[in-house]
Amino acid sequence: MNLVNLLITILILSLVFGLIWWVLGQMPIPEPFRMVVNAIIGLIAVLVLLGIVFGGINVPILRIN
């Protein structure tokens, strides 16, 4: 995977996790549970992005012609 494909993949996944974060922020979740949900989503996002950067997670290669 070259650098451009890696950047595009990271941007797309960041947008997806940002959208999930925003949707969960719009839901009326009581405060202690909201903090737990935000922490779990953030942790999953960081682990997935780090896995992609360091090669632990394989993603399909985007071909741009």
Q: Measure the CA–CA gap between 50 and 31, rounded to whole angstroms.
A: 28
How far from 49 is each of 11, 29, 31, CA to CA, in Å? 10, 26, 27
- The whole-number pLDDT of residue 63 equals 58
Per-residue pLDDT of the chain (65 residues; tens, 9 = 90+): 678 888 888 898 899 999 999 999 999 999 999 999 999 999 999 998 888 888 788 777 655 55
- The whole-number pLDDT of residue 1 equals 61
Joined together, the tokens standing for residue 21 give: 């974060």
Q: Euclidean distance between the first and final Cα of the chain, in Å?
A: 15
